[in-house]
Amino acid sequence: MRAYHKKDFPLSKIRRFIEPGPIVMVSSAHKGERNIMTLGWHMMLGFEPATIGCFIWDENRSFSMIRASKECVINVPTFDLVNAVIGVGNTHKSKRDKFEQFGLTPVDASKVNAPLIAECYANFECKLVDTSLIKRYSLFVFEVVKAHVARSPRYPTTVHYRGDGVFMVSGRNLSYRRRFKRVNL
Amino acid sequence: MRAYHKKDFPLSKIRRFIEPGPIVMVSSAHKGERNIMTLGWHMMLGFEPATIGCFIWDENRSFSMIRASKECVINVPTFDLVNAVIGVGNTHKSKRDKFEQFGLTPVDASKVNAPLIAECYANFECKLVDTSLIKRYSLFVFEVVKAHVARSPRYPTTVHYRGDGVFMVSGRNLSYRRRFKRVNL
Q: What is the mean predicted confidence (pLDDT) over A64-71? A: 98
Q: How far is CA A71 from CA A9, A36, B118, in A?
A: 19, 13, 44
Q: What is the pLDDT of residue A138?
A: 97
Res A96 pLDDT > 80: yes
Answer whether A160 sits within 8 Å of B141, measured CB to CB. no
Task: Report d(CA A31, CA B138) in Å as an integer.
Answer: 35
Q: Which residues pair with A122 in a beta bridge?
A: A76, A149
Q: What is the pLDDT of residue A177?
A: 94
Q: What is the mean predicted confidence (pLDDT) over B76-93? A: 94
Of A40, A163, A173, nearest to B162 by CB-CB distance is: A173
Answer whether B16 sits within 8 Å of A164, measured CB to CB. yes
Task: Report d(CA A68, CA A16) in Å as an integer.
Answer: 29
Q: Which residues pair with A76 in a beta bridge?
A: A122
**CB proximity B47 to A under 8 Å:** no
Q: What is the pLDDT of residue B110?
A: 98
Task: Tell me the pLDDT band of B166, cut-offs 50, 70 and 90.
Answer: very high
Res A38 pLDDT > 90: yes
Res B182 pLDDT > 90: no
Q: What are phi and psi of A36, to 5 degrees?
A: -135, 140
CA distance B64 to chain A (A): 19
Of A19, A21, A86, nearest to B176 by CB-CB distance is: A86
Answer whether A166 sits within 8 Å of B176, measured CB to CB. yes
CA distance B129 to chain A (A): 13
Question: Around Cβ A181, how many Cβ atoms within 10 Å?
Answer: 11
Answer whether B155 sits within 8 Å of A163, measured CB to CB. no
Res B150 pLDDT > 90: yes
Q: List A residues 93-132 in contact with B (Cβ-Cβ < 8 A).
A: none
Res A1 pLDDT > 90: no
Res B184 pLDDT > 80: no
Q: What is the pLDDT of residue B1?
A: 78
Q: What is the pLDDT of residue A156?
A: 97
Q: What is the mean predicted confidence (pLDDT) over B140-162? A: 97
Give me the total of CB pairs closer than 8 Å, taking one residue from chain A and one from chain B: 167
Answer whether A165 sits within 8 Å of B181, measured CB to CB. no
Q: What is the mean predicted confidence (pLDDT) over B114-138? A: 98
Q: What is the pLDDT of residue A182?
A: 80
Of A40, A162, A177, nearest to B155 by CB-CB distance is: A162
Q: Are B81 and B1 in contact (CB under 8 A)?
A: yes
Provide, as residue numbers in chain B, all residues whose Cβ is less than 8 Å from the Cβ of A39. Answer: none
Task: Report d(CA B3, CA B104) in Å as an integer.
Answer: 9
**CB proximity A57 to B under 8 Å:** no
* A112-126, B6-20, B56-70, B84-98: range with lowest mean pLDDT: B84-98
Of A43, A165, A175, nearest to B185 by CB-CB distance is: A165
CA distance A160 to chain B (A): 5
Q: Give the pTM.
A: 0.97
Task: Report d(CA B57, CA A53) in Å as an integer.
Answer: 16
**CB proximity B32 to A under 8 Å:** no
Of B13, B166, B184, nearest to A175 by CB-CB distance is: B166
Helix (H, G, I), strand (E, B) or coil at A96: coil
Task: Report d(CA A106, CA A90) in Å as an integer.
Answer: 20
Q: What is the pLDDT of residue A26?
A: 98
Question: Average per-residue pLDDT in chain B?
Answer: 96
Res A185 pLDDT > 80: no
Q: What is the pLDDT of residue B185?
A: 72
Q: What is the pLDDT of residue B59?
A: 85
Q: What is the pLDDT of residue B109?
A: 98
Residue of B nearest to A92 (CA): B184
Q: What is the pLDDT of residue A123?
A: 98
**CB proximity A137 to B under 8 Å:** yes
Provide, as residue numbers in chain B, all residues whose Cβ is less than 8 Å from the Cβ of A41. Answer: 19, 43-45
Q: Are B39 and B54 in contact (CB under 8 A)?
A: yes
